[in-house]
Each structure stands twice: as C-alpha cells, then as structure tokens.
Amino acid sequence: MVQSETKTVDERVALRRREILHAASTLFRRRGLQRTGMRDIARALGVAVGQLYYYFENKEALLAYCQEVCLERLLTESAMIRREKAPASVRLSRLIEAHLRCLNEEIPGSLAHLEVESLNEPTKQRILRLRKKYEEALIGLLKEGQADGTLVASDPVLTVRLLLGALNWSVKWFNRDGSTTLDSLVQTAQAYLVPLTPRPPARRVTTSESSS
C-alpha cells in the first residue's frame, strides 16, 4: 500500500515537472534561455515562485533535468532500436525519428538540450558522459551499416557529429504550431540525413539484347 502511494506521489511530481518544462519551453523560445528566470516561469504557470523550488532548486537544475531526461530517453530508444533485426539504414531512420520526436514533442523545454555550458562543472560532466554514450551508440550503428552495406560513412565519428548537430538544432527553429508538421520534419530528415550506400545505376538493355 505504501509502495503504491509512493509511486502515485512520484507520478504526480513527474507530471508537475513536465508542466513546468512545458511553460519554460514556451518562454525559452520567446525570450531566450538567458533572459528567462524562475519568476517568469512561475508567472506563466500562475503560481508563486516558491512552488517551483519544490520541484527544481533553481533554473540550472531545471536545465539539467531536461537534458538528463532527454538523453536517458534517447539512450533507451537507441538500445532498443539497435537490437532490432533490420538493416542498419532502417534502424538509423527510426533513431532519427525518435530523436526528433523526443526533442520537439515528448520532452518539453528541450531547447535546454543545447545549453550544456550553462551547467555547473559536476553536472556538465555528467551530461557530457551521457552525450558521449549516445554518440558512441550512433557511431556503432553507422559501423554496422558499413558492415551490412546499407550505409556509407568514410568517417563515422564526423558523420555522427554532423548528424547530431542537424537534429539538435531543430529545437531552435522548429515550431509545432507552424506550417511544417513534425511528421514532415521527420520524413525530410530521414531522406537527407541517412547516408545510404548509393545504388548501382540500372543496367541499360542494348538493342541486340532486347531483340533476342
């Protein structure tokens, strides 16, 4: 019974934190991260600023939480996708979708994902370790693509860093209320960012072959 009640409390805390991140996300986009304070977020939620400190010690804690939740989600997704029995090119396409949906739909406030330099050193190093682990998962997937012949990447490390730069930067400009849908963003990213092995040109049938 106590365990069930504790879980319910934890779920309520997680839900409230998500609501706070959602409000913060709107302000981050409108005002910028540096110009948005805890009082601004509290005002947007219609609550006293003291209530926010129950869930986040300060703005830095909010930024760290956002990044940790996002990276842990991406690491879980990457582990699941890499275990699938599918060509590496297909799995990379699925991971691109998971990445974009995580940043632009599932984790409010993900603009904070770009702000690692705003964190204190211990927190920054923890986030950087998570980022490195995720980057290594992507590099591994590209190498699997090289092995199964579905992906081409002469330098998997450089390719992954370029890929992550493009995906992460989407939080700066993508607007879910704009004319471009998230589905369209995902499809375009998959079409242009998956380094597929070029297909050989179709063999031309000669006149003599067609008449025989």
Q: Over the stretch 20-33, which tens digit does the pLDDT of each residue have?
A: 888 887 788 778 77
pLDDT computed for residue 132 by the predictor: 95
| Count of beta carbons in the 10 Å neighbourhood of residue 32 | 10
Please write the tens of the pLDDT for every residue from 129-148: 999 999 999 999 999 999 99
User: Helix, strand or coil for residue 87?
Assistant: coil
H-run or E-run covering 132? helix 121-148
pLDDT computed for residue 141 by the predictor: 96
pLDDT computed for residue 2 by the predictor: 47
Counting as low any pLDDT under 50, the low residues of the chain are 1-2
Contact 93, 101 (CB under 8 A): no
- Looking at residue 77, its amino acid is E
pLDDT computed for residue 143 by the predictor: 95
Distance from C-alpha of 88 to C-alpha of 151, rounded to nearest angstrom: 7
pTM for the structure as a whole: 0.81
Distance from C-alpha of 100 to C-alpha of 70, rounded to nearest angstrom: 11
H-run or E-run covering 141? helix 121-148
pLDDT computed for residue 87 by the predictor: 94
Q: Phi then psi for 84, rounded to 5 degrees?
A: -65, 150
Q: Say if residue 143 is exposed, middle or buried (CB neighbours under 10 Å; 0-12, 13-18, 19+).
A: middle
pLDDT computed for residue 92 by the predictor: 96
Contact 27, 69 (CB under 8 A): no
Q: Interhelix angle for 2-31 vs 38-45, to 10°?
A: 110
Distance from C-alpha of 12 to C-alpha of 206, rounded to nearest angstrom: 71
